[in-house]
Structure 1
Amino acid sequence: MIVTFCADLAQALAKLKEASPYSVPLVIFGHMHKELASGNGLRKMIVVGNDNIIYLNGAIVPRVRPPSLTAESEGTSRAFTIAEISNGRVEKIAETWISVIGDETRLEEEHILFGSPSRGSLHASLL
């Protein structure tokens, strides 16, 4: 689990769970490139802990690239990690690329990283 390398975070979450009526459904951080430096594949962007907290590494490198929707070289594509939360539950997490050309923006790509079981998505798609 991700928290094993961050004792301060684990302690803070444990104290919050003990002393507060609030739950923490999602922890978001950003670190590392998507591909592992060792060349052994991709890093995991999402881990669901034993406590059912979702740990999301939202870093996407590069964050800006040339657009792939058009043959033209103008504009850029920009990466965003989007989390949808409803009633304290994580419903969807997606890696999203938005094409930006002048004042025009549009969805270029969306990769669903997580979808809650109530939305019909499988947790197996996380890894």
Structure 2
Amino acid sequence: MNPGIGNEKTIGTSESFDGRMRQLHAAAVTELSPQTLARLRNARQQAQTSAPRRGHAWRWATATAFSAVLAVTIGLQLLPKPNSTPAAQPVVATLVSDDVYADSVSALDENPDLYMWLASSEAEPLAME
């Protein structure tokens, strides 16, 4: 075990720690054999040549565009839809005293038996004929 590593009294400040670690690294690099250095250099060169090349920006642009279109589509689905048909105006019936049908309307108002018959089960087969 190295005396400088893990000993909190020797670390003190970050500057002394950094200095000590740089010294340890420099000592370790000087003790490497030339064969190991050559293998490390070859591995670094192969990693740099086989690294993925730039030019995949179109993938990011496509993903961003797809996300934007999806967000707009969902946003449009959540918007309230405007009414294309105007609201119907309520129709108010007026009774004219000299109208021909005035007697019929008053007869219906006076006789509730008609409405009871319309609600019964006997009126449905007649309406289907």
TM-score, normalised to structure 2, is 0.17
Bigger fraction of residues in strand: 1
Structure possessing the higher radius of gyration over alpha carbons: 2
Higher RCO structure (Cα 8 Å, ≥6 apart)? 1
Bigger fraction of residues in helix: 2
TM-score, normalised to structure 1, is 0.17
